[in-house]
């Protein structure tokens, strides 16, 4: 999990070395955009740019395709279309905006679970704490395991920006979930 700009976060799944390289490139692209245009790069533009760069690696035999899927998140407060934004990019260069996303070995089960949960509404009701608890419960249900504070990483995108939760903040959410049961 990486903080790309003050308001954009990145979750990378796959090769750690490729993830770090992509995060560094995303930071560079966002900084260059801010320098050229004087405002922060919109998350959709960043996702599209990173997908285009990933696609370039599939065109030449001497370039190894990057083995990492990227998920960008931001809460947009300046556009006409305000609200949370989530974009998924795959190594082949395809990107799409989504309401909820899963990447990894149990991707299909997680996607099915999230589709059922978001069938009637397009968001989790409540503040970021309730959203984090929903995510932990969902992940725990899909993987069939209980988590400790050092087992998971959690990033939160709000109108104030993106931040990665500390182990103590994650533990607070886990305790809150345990108290609900």
What integer pLDDT is reported at residue 113 of this predicted model? Answer: 85
pLDDT tens per residue across all 181 residues of the chain: 999 999 999 999 999 999 999 999 999 999 999 999 999 999 999 999 999 999 998 888 788 888 999 999 999 877 667 788 999 999 999 999 998 888 888 889 988 888 887 777 766 777 889 889 989 999 999 999 999 989 999 999 998 999 999 999 999 999 999 998 7
**Residue ranges of the domains in the chain?**
1-98, 104-180
Predicted pLDDT at 70: 97
d(CA 134, CA 125): 10
User: Looking at residue 175, what is its pLDDT?
Assistant: 94
CATH no., domain 1-98:
3.60.20.10
In three-state secondary structure terms, 129 is helix
Instruction: State the pLDDT at residue 54.
Output: 93
Can you give the pLDDT at residue 178?
A: 92
**Residue 31, SS3 per DSSP:** helix
pLDDT, position 76: 83
- Predicted confidence at residue 79, as pLDDT, reads 67
The 10 Å CB-count burial string (b at 16+, else e) for 1-38 is bbbbbebbbbbbbbeeebbeebbebbbebbeebeeeee
């Amino acid at each position: 999990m990486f903080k790309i700009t003050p308001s954009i976060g990145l979750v990378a799944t796959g090769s750690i070395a490729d993830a770090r390289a992509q995060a560094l490139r995303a930071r560079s692209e966002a900084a260059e955009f801010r320098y050229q245009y004087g405002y922060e790069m919109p998350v959709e533009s960043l996702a599209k740019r990173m997908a285009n760069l990933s696609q370039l690696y599939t065109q030449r035999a001497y370039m190894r395709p990057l083995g990492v899927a990227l998920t960008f998140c931001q809460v947009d407060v300046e556009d006409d279309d305000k609200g949370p934004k989530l974009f998924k990019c795959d190594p082949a260069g395809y990107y799409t905006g989504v309401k909820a996303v899963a990447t990894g070995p149990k991707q299909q089960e997680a996607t099915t679970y999230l589709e059922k949960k978001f069938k009637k509404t397009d968001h989790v009701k409540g503040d970021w704490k309730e959203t984090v608890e929903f995510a932990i419960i969902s992940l725990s249900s899909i993987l069939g395991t209980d988590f400790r504070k050092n087992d998971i990483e959690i990033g939160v995108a709000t109108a104030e920006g993106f931040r990665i939760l500390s182990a103590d903040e994650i533990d607070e959410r886990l305790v809150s979930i345990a108290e609900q049961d």
